């Protein structure tokens, strides 16, 4: 069975599961990958979003089934203060609604179709089962997958959503997802906003943080910058297109994790792995699994 057919079958299996059910995979007792050199993290970016509509349950399920260690979730906040899994500040691209998330209540957003856009944008991967998929709240995702899965959560546009960090930590604490005194963590929090990460760090210093950096040109980094990140973060993330081996080595010498995004081509993955990255975000976690196997790194 070729990769396309395999993924169609996986999609069908995933869609056949009712929303809200705990999947068989989630029911297994999972282990959290340690945040050290021994485990390269396969981070399913918005789920296996190359195969299914981003930030929907089928996308997250596929990511999990294809070897993803962490489900990557972008957060936005509704008018009534609910954290939802969505990349954009607006509803337009990934639902049949329009306008800003912050101007809509959760009840309004729940009426929207978060799957059909994918069938139109990617006819080669279209699936009838994607039609009518719902936007998920963070709590719904955690309830669906359980406490034994790993979540790599991004505070998106935190300046637009005062109180976002407090709400996030309240949910993580409620679900007992913050582990103290150990290298393993069910949750990593990432952001392009240092202010947002510092807020999280002040609220709870036990959660591993990853500072995302938006380089406009080829990336360079100083010892001072790395020492600064080390004060509050476990690692940094940036576009894989902007870095080279020297950059990766320098980050690792400062004992920081380095998780480039969003790497979808196997040759790019292998090059980054050979340079020494400690994980990466990908829309195709199965391809990263193949790359790791071929390099005998998993």
Active-site residue numbers? Answer: 45, 87
User: Is residue 33 within the footprint of ligand G3P (CB under 6 A)?
Assistant: no
Query: Of the ranges 49-57, 68-76, 133-141, 157-165, which one interacts with Ca ion (CB under 5 A)?
Result: 68-76
Name the residue nearer to ligand G3P (CB basis): 161 or 261. Answer: 261
- 54 part of the interface to Ca ion, by CB under 5 A: no
Q: Which is nearer to ligand G3P, 15 or 135 (CB)?
A: 135
Q: Which two tokens stand for residue 153?
A: 């959560």
- Tell me the closest approach of the beta carbon of residue 50 to ligand G3P, in angstroms: 13
Residue 154 near Ca ion by CB under 5 A: yes
List the single partner that 70 binds among ligand G3P, Ca ion, none, CB under 5 to 8 Å by kind. Answer: none
User: Judged by CB under 6 A, does residue 261 bind ligand G3P?
Assistant: yes
15 versus 168: smaller Cβ distance to ligand G3P: 168
Rule CB under 5 A: choose which of 54, 61, 74, 290 binds Ca ion: 74
Nearer to ligand G3P, 136 or 190 (CB): 190
Cα 1 to Cα 165: distance, rounded to the nearest angstrom:
44
Q: According to the 3-state scheme, what is the secondary structure of the chain?
A: CCHHHHHHHHHHHHHCCCCCCCCHHHHCCCCCCECCCCCCEEEECCCCCCCCCCCCHHHHHHHHHCCCCEEEEEEEECCCCCEEECCCCECCCCCCCCCEHHHCCHHHHHCCCCCHHHHHHCHHHCCHHHCCCCCCEHHHHHHHHCCCCCEEEEECCHHHCCCHHHHHHHHHHHCCCCCCCCCECCEEEEECCHHHHHHHHHHCCCCCEEEECCCCCCCCCCHHHHHHHHHHCCEEECEHHHCCHHHHHHHHHCCCEECCECCCCHHHHHHHHHHCCCEEEECCHHHHHHHHHHCCCC
Residue 161 burial by CB count (10 A; 0-12/13-18/19+): exposed, middle or buried?
buried
Name the residue number minimizing CB distance to ligand G3P: 261
Residue 144 contacts which entry, Ca ion, ligand G3P, none (Cβ below 5-8 A, type-dependent): none
Q: Which of 68, 158, 237, 279 binds ligand G3P (CB under 6 A)?
A: 237
Does residue 55 touch ligand G3P according to CB under 6 A?
no
x-or-dash pattern for ligand G3P, window 176-215, by CB under 6 A? --------------x---------------------x---
Q: How far is the CB of 88 from ligand G3P (least distance, A)?
A: 9
Which residues between 266 and 285 bind ligand G3P (CB under 6 A)? Answer: 281
Query: Which parts of this chain interact with Ca ion (CB under 5 A)?
Result: 74, 154
Query: Which parts of this chain interact with ligand G3P (CB under 6 A)?
Result: 45, 74, 87, 154, 190, 212, 237, 261-262, 281
């Amino acid at each position: 069975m070729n990769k396309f057919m395999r993924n169609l079958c996986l999609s069908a299996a995933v869609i056949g599961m009712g929303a809200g059910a705990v999947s068989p995979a989630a029911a297994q007792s999972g282990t959290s990958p340690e945040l050290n050199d021994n485990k390269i993290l396969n981070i399913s970016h918005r789920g296996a979003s190359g195969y299914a509509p981003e930030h929907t349950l089928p996308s997250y399920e596929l990511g999990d089934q294809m070897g993803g260690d962490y489900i990557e979730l972008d957060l936005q906040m509704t008018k009534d203060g609910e954290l939802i899994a969505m990349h954009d500040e607006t509803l337009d691209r990934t639902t049949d609604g329009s306008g800003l998330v912050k101007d809509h209540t959760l009840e309004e957003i729940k009426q929207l179709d978060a799957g059909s856009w994918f069938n139109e944008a990617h006819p080669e991967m279209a699936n009838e089962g994607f039609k009518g998929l719902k936007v998920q709240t963070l709590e719904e995702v955690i309830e669906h997958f359980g406490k034994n899965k790993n979540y790599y959560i991004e505070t998106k546009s935190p300046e637009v959503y005062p109180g976002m960090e407090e709400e996030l930590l309240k949910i993580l604490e409620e679900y007992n997802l913050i582990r103290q005194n150990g290298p393993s963590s069910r949750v990593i929090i990432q952001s392009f906003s240092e202010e947002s990460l510092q807020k999280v760090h002040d609220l709870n210093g036990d959660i591993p943080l990853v500072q995302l950096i938006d380089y406009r040109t080829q990336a360079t980094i100083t010892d001072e910058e790395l020492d600064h990140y080390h004060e509050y973060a476990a690692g940094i993330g940036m576009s894989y297109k902007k870095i080279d081996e020297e950059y990766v080595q320098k980050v690792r010498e400062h004992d920081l994790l380095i998780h480039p995004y969003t790497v979808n081509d196997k040759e790019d993955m292998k090059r980054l792995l050979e340079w020494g990255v400690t994980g990466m975000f990908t829309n195709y976690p199965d391809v990263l699994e193949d790359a790791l196997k071929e390099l005998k790194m998993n």
